[in-house]
Structure 1
């Protein structure tokens, strides 16, 4: 499966390394805002032996239509920003390139655009693309069904510079009917990401915890999503759509 990666920050680099080490995928190119590393090879920069091109391009010097013509891909994986979808979305949809977005926060405007693009191609979006945190979300929903009256608290911890409430925590709160304002947030040091759901029963407590040990967890999630999205028809998909068949009893 040929992949184009958008975004090459700390998480993007970790995702690229996972893709380069997986023989089922070929990282054709990387697109980033900065001109630093332009025309360098991602495998060479990351110190990974690979025959995949993985050439790095800058969005300020690159026409995305030309890029998709010269270096076609089966899917685009987006780890850039909430504005990135405007740069490549329409071009990708016209060419029936699958879109896998792992952007934490989208406003209503961007969500409407995703739905519009899903009329033309296969689109997936998750504010947290790690498999573990989405497993936690499924488990939490099941427990809430069993005991809808239980007291619930949602906690999230991230690195010092992360702004705003975690998009994943907000999604968990929405799924469990917890007010967004009551989410407890901690910002300290270099915490990659930790989410905890506390269920307060009389005389006992259940805690569901997911902690990302390294950003490679996002790369593993991308691989899982891409493999399960391979044969999906056009439409807008979430992790719930992909995981539901696995939970069928």
Structure 2
């Protein structure tokens, strides 16, 4: 069976790789792209993306009403992603979201819409299988090592901080860890923000520098020992196997799933 795909954000770093993956996958058919400023162009006019005669729409409404799509992939920015995903699900187009930065209320709205429409949707804070395992191992470790901090590092063009992966990691850790204060109760930040963001005592530190792609380490401390669980994506190709898997898996879903770990056999 051929799966017809629409991609939003084809010029971005993730979008570029997704276009390559979809056009090179025999069971996928890229029928259109959504781009906020290149309406009416063809994918063959995009440098280094595709030589195929694939239409580009500025309006997601026009795209979804014009092209028959099975799956919509969003790799844009949070403010656009929510509207795109809402329209796709309303049009009964299964949706795969790799955009991070959606709020809890937006995820809840999409969950209700997806479940009511019985139209599958996958929101993945990270598509790298290794990163998913890193998050699951952190959840396991937090049961025995409740003192934990997270350092996540990304390229300097990333819009949100902390990353969706860090936020998801905190959520998973909270499932097995009781909230607690960490460090000295009378500690003082002599430079505001030095201890990073805090959620139930878990400190999260975001680094944004050129040269990085996506990296995270979860550091646990206990008496006489430390445990570090670390994952590095050194190339955006690391995410494409997860995107491919999500596209295939969402075809058999009729509700929203948040987190790739929920569709993996782990």
Equivalents in 2 of 1:222, 1:43: separation in Å? 24
- Count how many residue pairs are aligned between Structure 1 and Structure 2: 235
Equivalents in 2 of 1:107, 1:86: separation in Å? 9
State the match for 1:175 in structure 2.
Answer: 172
Greater gyration radius: 2
Question: Do the aligned partners of 2:136 and 2:172 also contact (CA within 8 Å) in 1?
Answer: no
State the match for 1:81 in structure 2.
Answer: 77
Structure 1: 5+ residue runs without aligned partners? none
Question: Do the aligned partners of 1:32 and 1:80 also contact (CA within 8 Å) in 2?
Answer: no
Identify if the C-alpha distance between structure 1 residues 78 and 200 changes in structure 2 by more than 3 Å, giving closer, same or farther: same
Select 1:28's aligned residue among 7, 26, 31: 31
Identify if the C-alpha distance between structure 1 residues 114 and 20 changes in structure 2 by more than 3 Å, giving closer, same or farther: same
Q: How does 1:90-239 map to 2 (within 5 A)?
A: 90-118=86-114, 119-120=116-117, 121-145=119-143, 147=144, 149-163=145-159, 164-177=161-174, 179-180=198-199, 182-232=203-253, 234-238=254-258, 239=260
Structure 2: 5+ residue runs without aligned partners? 180-197
Question: Do the aligned partners of 2:78 and 2:102 also contact (CA within 8 Å) in 1?
Answer: yes
Equivalents in 1 of 2:256, 2:121: separation in Å? 5
Equivalents in 2 of 1:236, 1:222: separation in Å? 16
Give TM-score, length-normalised by structure 2: 0.78
Whether 1:5 aligns to 2:7 is yes
Question: Do the aligned partners of 2:155 and 2:213 also contact (CA within 8 Å) in 1?
Answer: yes
Equivalents in 1 of 2:208, 2:173: separation in Å? 23
Runs of 4+ that moved beyond 4 A: none
Deviation, structure 1 residue 107: 2.0
Equivalents in 1 of 2:75, 2:49: separation in Å? 21
Deviation, structure 1 residue 117: 2.1
Question: Do the aligned partners of 1:42 and 1:55 also contact (CA within 8 Å) in 2?
Answer: no
Give TM-score, length-normalised by structure 1: 0.83
Deviation, structure 1 residue 2: 0.9
Q: Spell out, residue by residue over 1:148-195, the C-alpha distance to the aligned partner (whole angstroms, 9 max, x if none).
A: x44322111112233422221122123213744711222222201100
State the match for 1:39 in structure 2.
Answer: 41
